[in-house]
Structure 1
Amino acid sequence: MSHTGKLRVLMAGTGLLLMAGPAFSLDGADLLAKINAATGMSGTPVTAQSVDVNGTTVTLRGATYKPMPAEEAMAIGDITLEGVQEEDDGGYFIETVTLPDLSMREEETTVTVADISMTNVTVPADVTGGTLDSVLVYEEAATGPVNVSVDGKSLFSLASATSTTEIADDNSSIGFDVEVAGIKADLSTVEDPKAREAIQSLGLTSIDGSMTMSGDWQAADGLVNIEDYTLDFANVGTLSTSLSFSGYTLDFIKAAEETSRAMQPAAGKQAQDAAGLAMLGLMQRLTFNSAEISFQDAGLTNRALDYAGKEQGVSGNTMAQMLKGMTPLLLAQYNVPELQNMVSQAVNTYLDNPGNFIISAAPENPVPFPMIMGAAMGAPNTLPDVLGVTVEANRRQ
């Protein structure tokens, strides 16, 4: 497996193992089987050399994680589950799941993840139903420090990550919140001279920030509301996104998982082609409701103008004026006069005094994804009207 692939497996495995859990005293094999079924993956992604039961504590000894049958299994170690109860319906409830600290090294790169845990995990007895009773859920999943280092020098780290969920009283929806604190990256070691000059000019030698996300998912109609997804970096800015779409039901998720497995290289080209068409068919089930993306500047814009201007032999202010003039000319070729005017006005307002820049899509009625795809291919100039796109700058918050 490639270096990048192994690191991806480690990070993905950490998250998915957090969403796995184990079970109850009487039948360790049954517990592990239901955990694997709840992951929605083929084969047995989570294995253990033995399952030890001591009262309400279950330990998966020598656990490994293998996301795909063709992938290399990753050694995890002993996973401890405390406060395990077998439910009347054959499912399991686990008060606490604790994973050992993970560490992986390949050549000069080392990735570590510490303090991995989950609380109040429910493992379903049957994953074939169409309700939330057939989904593995948890109240909280968390990790402590995560670090990626090369030759002993930390290049990326985060202090902690926490994900919490809350199921509605009528079992119809799940609310979720995610917080990632202390995100740090060191770009000072970039070797390419041109890239290093750009990083230094933009003030991105080291970055420090956080990420938050909140929203909910309604199982019956597959309505996903990502109310807020925000990346906030000091002396750079805040990028916020919201998104709402429908059709992401449990049936859709299962079909998408099956199709995705068929698209793996081991499936063969014919199967991959068929799966690709099937995935396009699945997209017809989704409906777009609304979206918004905004950027709140914290100094990056003027530094970017100064750097771009320097490359052209002009000042940052002159570069801003050049961009103002270029914007309507670039948009004119797309034959969207109303959008052209909106964008030009927003760009002028923003460059005069960088504050926030906001792009919204709010159609009067939900738009099926096939209609969006058809407009994009047949008449792209109609997309702004189809999606109800607006662009503005320096909106009062």
Structure 2
Amino acid sequence: MKNLSRLSLAALLLAGTSQAALALEATDFADRLVETSKLMGVSFAYGSATAEGDTVTISDFVISMPGQDDIDVPGDVVFTGVVETAEGGFSAERATIADFEYTDEEEGFSVSFVDIAAEGIVLPADAGLDSVIEIGFNLYDRISAGPLSISDESGTELFAIDLMEVTMEEPTAEGGLSSAYQVSGIRGDLSAIEEPEAQEVMEAFGLSQLSASMSGSGTWWPQTGAASVDDVSFVVDELGSLSLDFAVEGYTEELYRELMKVNLKMAEMAEAGIEIDEDQMADMSEAMLEKMADVKLVDGALRYDDDSLFMKVLDFIGAEQGVDGETFKAGLQFMVPMALAEVENAAFKTMVTNAVNTFIADPQNFTISVEPEEPIAFSEFEGMEAEVENDPFVLVDLLNVQITANQ
């Protein structure tokens, strides 16, 4: 599964970074692809590149990512509808990677991962840092992959995803750059889980199959530094869903370029074959976080929407105590004020009690949001550990935490 996840990521990254350069001279295109991929933190080598008409085929990819083993991409990457642009760049209608089929007879499972493709590819003439925003948001219109299917030795499907997709939108009138993703048709055969405790829970919840999906979108306005992430959600059908959204400011073009420089450094180290251990990876991650210290949080919210999960949990816990779910729910409402008895902030205690008991009585949705009076830089949270430990409501007040239910 670890190798599969790497291959899947590599396939999607390859489709994305293959937006780099579509020269009608195949080796020129391949070399440009190598250079552009570094801005995404990926380095790769290739064996050969050939062109026939408006089709470019690149073979024998070896992808290198910092801290990871090299990945040999099976088959060829084929670009069709290749056209040179007036600016000296290139465009292509579509890029595809060979389907992946693998069987591990010793472990008793098979993997199928098909239809990996990128569409609407645009490759700029300049693949340097000065053009990194244009590269990052104009490389493709759509990247897609799937179905992905994992089966046991008898051919029974254990896990599957119908479609993984990333799309880029046209810039808005205000200069906003938007992208979205979705992962649909997530399925899992829960009956295949052999652990007795897990089976007991699945039986109590009446679940034998998992059905889920994921999606999200975001927009960045480079000229102002504002950005928003909208409705990042994970939905489990007939159980419930979690969704997240937030907005920041201070995510400037200069910051974006600085972050890409870190990507470039990591890719160059991988290309040079320099070993990167966990400590070095942690240092690089910390360096990226430090560059984002002055980004400011405008607002945000985490929301849970119930679709039977809450009562299933109460039924399960209640059964262990010898009562039904409704009886346990009634007792739970009395327990909330007791649990908050030591909270000194009366307004916060009232807000939480009202929201929790409203949700318990009629489980629809529950939201925790932050709405600070002024945007707060992430750097302001540094060095607050002792203060927060002494008085947790420092953060509650600073972030203006709001808790609501059924709204």
**Common fold: TM-score over 0.5:** yes
Superposition deviation, residue 350 in structure 1: 0.8
- Counterpart Cα distance in 1 of 2:262 and 2:340: 37
Superposition deviation, residue 173 in structure 1: 3.2
In the TM superposition, 1:182-221 aligns within 5 A as 182-221=185-224
- Counterpart Cα distance in 2 of 1:9 and 1:311: 41
SS in 2 for 1:267: coil
| Alignment CA distance shift 1:11-1:323 (3 Å) | farther
What do the CA deviations read for 1:113-171 (whole angstroms, capped 9, x no partner)?
21111111122322311652243521111223111234333222122233221231679
Partner of 1:147: 149
Alignment partner for residue 339 of structure 1, among 336, 339, 348? 348
SS in 1 for 2:314: helix
| Alignment CA distance shift 1:386-1:373 (3 Å) | same
| Alignment CA distance shift 1:42-1:19 (3 Å) | closer
Alignment partner for residue 276 of structure 2, among 263, 267, 287? 267
| 1:233 matches 2:239 | no
- Counterpart Cα distance in 2 of 1:325 and 1:245: 39
Superposition deviation, residue 319 in structure 1: 2.4
Partner of 2:402: 390
Superposition deviation, residue 44 in structure 1: 6.7
- Counterpart Cα distance in 1 of 2:327 and 2:217: 40
In the TM superposition, 1:1-397 aligns within 5 A as 4-21=1-18, 23-40=21-38, 45-68=43-66, 71-106=69-104, 107-124=107-124, 125-129=126-130, 132-135=133-136, 137-151=139-153, 152-168=155-171, 172-248=175-251, 249-257=255-263, 266-267=275-276, 271=280, 274-275=283-284, 277-332=286-341, 335-375=344-384, 378-379=387-388, 380-395=392-407
- Counterpart Cα distance in 2 of 1:42 and 1:234: 34
- Counterpart Cα distance in 1 of 2:316 and 2:209: 18
- Counterpart Cα distance in 1 of 2:89 and 2:344: 58
Superposition deviation, residue 303 in structure 1: 0.8
Q: Which moved more, 1:129-138 or 1:114-123?
A: 129-138
SS in 2 for 1:214: strand
Q: Which runs of 5+ in 1 are unaligned?
A: none
Aligned residues of 1:25 and 1:56 also touching (Cα < 8 A) = no
- Counterpart Cα distance in 2 of 1:279 and 1:259: 12
Instruction: Report how many aligned residue pairs link the two structures.
Output: 392
- Counterpart Cα distance in 2 of 1:280 and 1:179: 26
Aligned residues of 1:34 and 1:123 also touching (Cα < 8 A) = no
Superposition deviation, residue 327 in structure 1: 3.4
Aligned residues of 2:367 and 2:405 also touching (Cα < 8 A) = yes
- Counterpart Cα distance in 2 of 1:44 and 1:231: 28
Aligned residues of 2:149 and 2:159 also touching (Cα < 8 A) = yes
Q: Which moved more, 1:270-279 or 1:194-203?
A: 270-279
SS in 1 for 2:11: helix
Aligned residues of 2:40 and 2:263 also touching (Cα < 8 A) = no
Root mean square deviation, CA, Å? 3.0
The residue type equivalent to 2:2 in the other structure is G
- Counterpart Cα distance in 2 of 1:324 and 1:62: 63
The residue type equivalent to 2:310 in the other structure is T
Superposition deviation, residue 333 in structure 1: 5.1
Structure showing greater relative contact order (alpha-carbon pairs closer than 8 Å, 6 or more residues apart) = 2
| Alignment CA distance shift 1:158-1:340 (3 Å) | same
SS in 2 for 1:188: helix
What do the CA deviations read for 1:98-127 (whole angstroms, capped 9, x no partner)?
222123444334332211111111223223
Superposition deviation, residue 351 in structure 1: 0.9
SS in 2 for 1:313: coil
- Counterpart Cα distance in 2 of 1:276 and 1:179: 26
| Alignment CA distance shift 1:171-1:7 (3 Å) | farther
- Counterpart Cα distance in 1 of 2:142 and 2:281: 36
| Alignment CA distance shift 1:67-1:241 (3 Å) | same
- Counterpart Cα distance in 2 of 1:180 and 1:311: 36
| Alignment CA distance shift 1:287-1:185 (3 Å) | same
- Counterpart Cα distance in 2 of 1:361 and 1:44: 36
- Counterpart Cα distance in 2 of 1:262 and 1:337: 56
- Counterpart Cα distance in 1 of 2:364 and 2:72: 46
- Counterpart Cα distance in 1 of 2:159 and 2:230: 27
| Alignment CA distance shift 1:307-1:105 (3 Å) | same
Q: Which runs of 5+ in 2 are unaligned?
A: none
The residue type equivalent to 1:350 in the other structure is F
What do the CA deviations read for 1:348-391 (whole angstroms, capped 9, x no partner)?
11111111111111222211112234445522321122222111
| Alignment CA distance shift 1:252-1:195 (3 Å) | farther
Superposition deviation, residue 291 in structure 1: 1.3
| Alignment CA distance shift 1:117-1:209 (3 Å) | same
Superposition deviation, residue 71 in structure 1: 1.0
- Counterpart Cα distance in 2 of 1:348 and 1:45: 53
